[in-house]
Chains A and B, each alone.
Chain A
């Protein structure tokens, strides 16, 4: 149980394009989902927290107009990186938590490379 998937696992795009990453909870309802970014050999950096049906709460320094988060259902959240630039290249990981649970379960991550 507690499986979280992400799609795509890898994406390469040209500078200036937008990229959408999907995060799905496969066997539970996720009332809260989180988006993280991770640079090589560093820990996870929380970007934003989203509750189903509400606007996402962004961490300080994260541009909400650049990283658009939608959590329209209890099993799906999306992160759209708008007008991507090479400095946005990173490993993006989502996590999900059910309403009655404490643990966050993580997806496998998406490697974004912006050329």
Chain B
């Protein structure tokens, strides 16, 4: 059974304090790993898709990386507007659905 575990559950940072969020996964065969951002009361917003170990993608202050067992979402010099819940999900080969982790609630204090 595919599983996704995200850590930490919650993270508070000061503005400008860089850090990383972790997503550990087990799948029979990885088709893709996805990162989403979700603001309170809204649907998830797509950030990145990673397909193979060693792949990296960047968007503004965010960079996602992938190994065979985990993915990291690095946030550099965050701003208060980066505060949100970040969700990681995996899709296995032959499956249509995503399996989501529980998310990391990120708070950036000014």
Contacts and interface: CB of A to CB of B under 8 A. Distances in A.
A35 B96 CA distance: 13
A34 B97 CA distance: 8
A43 B101 contact: yes
B69 interface: no
A43 B91 CA distance: 16
Contacts of B34: 103-104
A25 interface: no
B100 interface: yes
Interface residues on B, range: 20 to 34
Contacts of A49: 96-97
Contacts of B43: 4, 6, 93, 95, 106-109
Given A43-B87, A108-B43, A109-B42, A103 B101 contact: no
Interface residues of A, number: 22
Contact of B49 (A34, A103, A108): A103
19 contacts: A2-B46, A4-B43, A32-B96, A34-B97, A43-B100, A43-B103, A44-B44, A44-B87, A93-B44, A95-B44, A102-B91, A103-B49, A104-B98, A105-B46, A106-B36, A106-B43, A106-B46, A108-B43, A109-B41
Given A43-B101, A103-B49, A108-B42, 10 more contacts: A4-B43, A6-B43, A43-B100, A44-B87, A44-B100, A102-B32, A103-B46, A104-B34, A105-B46, A109-B43
